[in-house]
Structure 1
Amino acid sequence: MPSLGADMEHGKVVEWLVHPGDTVHQGDLIAVVDTDKTLMDVESFEDGVVGGYLVDLSETVPVGTPILSLAEPGEEVPPGDGGRAAPPAPQAAPPVPPESALLPAAPAPPAEAAGAPAAVPRPTPGGRRVRSSPLARRLAAQLGIDLAAVTGTGQQGSISEADVRRAAAGAPQEPATAVPPAAVPPAAVAPAAVPAAVAPAAGRAASLRASLGSLMAKSKGTIPHYYVSTTLDLSRMGALMQERNVARPVSDRLVPAAFLLKAAAVAARDVPGMNGFWTDDGFAPSEHVHLGVAVALRGGGLVAPALLDADGLSVDELMQRLRDLVARARAGRLARTEMASATITATSLGDLGVEAVFGVIVPPQVAMVGLGRVAERPWAENGMLGVRMAATATLSADHRVTDGLGGSRYLNRLQELLLTPEDL
Structure 2
Amino acid sequence: MPVDEFRMPSLGADMEHGKVVEWLVKPGDYVHKGDLVAAVDTDKTVMDIESFQDGVLAEFLVDIGDTVDVGTPIARITATPAELPPAQPPLTSGAPSPDARSPLAAREPTPAHQGAEAGHPEPAVKAAPPVRHLAHTLGVDVGHITGSGPGGEVVRADVERAAADTLAAAATEEAAAEARRVRSSPLARRLAAELGVDLQDVSGTGPGGAVTEDDVLSAVPPRGRPPREQVAEAPPSEAPAREPAPEAAEEAPRQKRPTAAGGKAETLRQAVGALMSRSKKEIPHYYLSTTLDLAAAMAWMQAANQQRPVSSRLVPSALLLKATALAAKEVPDLNGFFTKGAFHPSSEVHLGVAVALRHGGLVAPALHDADTLSLDELRDLVSRAREGRLQRAEMADPTITVTNLGDLGVESVYGVIYPPQVAMVGFGKVLEQPFADNGMLGIRHAAIATLSADHRVSDGLRGGRFLARIDELLQEPDKL
Which of residues 210, 214, 233 in structure 2 aligns to 1:169? 210
1:316 aligns with 2:376: yes
Question: Matches of 2:266 and 2:292 in 1, distance apart?
Answer: 36
Equivalences for residues 404-415 of structure 1 within 5 A? 404-415=460-471
Structure 1 stretch displaced more, 342-351 or 239-248: 239-248
Question: Matches of 1:403 and 1:182 in 2, distance apart?
Answer: 54
1:342 equivalent in structure 2 = 398
Greater share of residues in helix: 2
1:421 equivalent in structure 2 = 477
C-alpha displacement at 1:36, in angstroms? 1.7
C-alpha displacement at 1:186, in angstroms? 7.4
Question: Matches of 1:295 and 1:129 in 2, distance apart?
Answer: 30
Q: Aligned partner of 1:8: which letter?
A: M
Question: Matches of 2:403 and 2:261 in 1, distance apart?
Answer: 23
Normalised to the residue count of structure 2, the TM-score between the two structures is: 0.65
Equivalences for residues 160-309 of structure 1 within 5 A? 168-169=209-210, 184-185=222-223, 200-280=260-340, 282-309=342-369
C-alpha displacement at 1:165, in angstroms? 7.0
Normalised to the residue count of structure 1, the TM-score between the two structures is: 0.73
Which of residues 59, 62, 71 in structure 1 aligns to 2:66? 59
2:19 equivalent in structure 1 = 12
Question: Matches of 1:251 and 1:42 in 2, distance apart?
Answer: 28
Q: 1:128 to 1:220 in 2, by over 3 A?
A: closer
1:141 equivalent in structure 2 = 198
Q: CA offsets per residue over residues 144-174 of structure 1, 9 Å max, x none?
A: 159xxxxxxxxxxxxxxxx997663399x99
C-alpha displacement at 1:5, in angstroms? 1.5
1:373 aligns with 2:429: yes
Question: Matches of 1:217 and 1:128 in 2, distance apart?
Answer: 46
1:38 equivalent in structure 2 = 45
2:239 equivalent in structure 1 = none
Q: Secondary structure at the match of 1:207?
A: helix
Q: CA offsets per residue over residues 252-284 of structure 1, 9 Å max, x none?
A: 322211111111111111111122222226222
* Unpaired segments ≥5 residues, structure 1: 86-126, 147-162
Q: Secondary structure at the match of 1:221?
A: helix
Question: Matches of 2:46 and 2:341 in 1, distance apart?
Answer: 32
Q: Secondary structure at the match of 2:210?
A: helix
Q: CA offsets per residue over residues 329-356 of structure 1, 9 Å max, x none?
A: 3333311111123221110111222111
Q: 1:60 to 1:368 in 2, by over 3 A?
A: same
C-alpha displacement at 1:131, in angstroms? 6.9
Which of residues 2, 13, 27 in structure 1 aligns to 2:34? 27
Partners of 1:51 and 1:69 within 8 A in 2: yes
Question: Matches of 2:264 and 2:179 in 1, distance apart?
Answer: 32
Partners of 1:232 and 1:393 within 8 A in 2: yes
- Flag the structure with more relative contact order, 1 or 2, with Cα contacts below 8 A and sequence separation at least 6: 1
C-alpha displacement at 1:48, in angstroms? 2.9
1:123 equivalent in structure 2 = none
Q: Secondary structure at the match of 1:205?
A: helix
Which of residues 416, 426, 432 in structure 2 aligns to 1:360? 416
- Give the number of the structure whose alpha-carbon radius of gyration is greater: 2
Q: CA offsets per residue over residues 56-105 of structure 1, 9 Å max, x none?
A: 1101112221111122447723459xxxx9xxxxxxxxxxxxxxxxxxxx
Q: Secondary structure at the match of 1:263?
A: helix
Partners of 1:269 and 1:275 within 8 A in 2: yes
Q: 1:413 to 1:166 in 2, by over 3 A?
A: closer
Partners of 1:51 and 1:79 within 8 A in 2: no
* Unpaired segments ≥5 residues, structure 2: 1-7, 88-100, 102-175, 228-249
Partners of 2:223 and 2:253 within 8 A in 1: no
Question: Matches of 2:371 and 2:289 in 1, distance apart?
Answer: 22
Question: Matches of 1:256 and 1:167 in 2, distance apart?
Answer: 26
Percent identity at matched positions?
Answer: 57
How many residues are aligned here? 354
Q: 1:288 to 1:186 in 2, by over 3 A?
A: farther
1:77 equivalent in structure 2 = 84
C-alpha displacement at 1:371, in angstroms? 0.3
